[in-house]
């Protein structure tokens, strides 16, 4: 599966568009992470616990987007983007989406 943020893949031609491919996950804060984040908020610096949590969430969203694209018969997803939104206090959604295509 080819995944790209560009609208085309060099050396490949889009034979068919299968539709929007998407995947998402919702992650909630963890009390242990909140304590460490609070301490880092006082002294400053990167909140590595949340950085790791969001990286894991992006990877899960990508995996689910790929599954969606494969169900549509795509062999690539072009124009990939990410979105995030707060769905409730202490929980955020990470969404990965793009256009599922069949490349020649």
Domains and CATH numbers, the chain: 2-103 (3.30.110.70)
Is the per-residue pLDDT at 2 higher than 80? yes
| β pairing state of 2-3 and 76-88 | parallel
pLDDT tens sequence across 43-98: 667 777 778 888 999 999 999 999 999 999 999 999 999 999 988 877 889 999 99
pLDDT at 33 over 60: no
Q: What pLDDT is stored for residue 95 in this prediction?
A: 98
Q: Which residue has the higher pLDDT, 33 or 90?
A: 90
CB-neighbour burial class of residue 21 (10 A; exposed 0-12, middle 13-18, buried 19+)? buried
Angle, to 10 degrees, between the axis of helix 48-71 and the axis of helix 31-43? 130
Q: Write the burial class of residue 82 (CB in 10 Å: 0-12 exposed, 13-18 middle, 19+ buried).
A: middle
């Amino acid at each position: 599966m080819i995944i790209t943020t560009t609208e085309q893949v060099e050396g490949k031609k889009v034979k068919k568009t299968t539709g929007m491919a998407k995947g998402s996950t919702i992650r909630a804060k963890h009390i242990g992470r909140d304590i460490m984040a609070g301490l880092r908020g006082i002294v400053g610096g990167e909140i590595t616990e949340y950085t790791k949590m969001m990286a894991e969430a992006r990877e899960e969203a990508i995996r689910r987007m790929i599954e969606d694209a494969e169900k549509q018969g795509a062999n690539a997803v072009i124009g990939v983007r990410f979105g995030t939104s707060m769905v409730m206090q202490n929980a955020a959604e990470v969404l990965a989406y793009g256009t599922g295509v069949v490349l020649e």
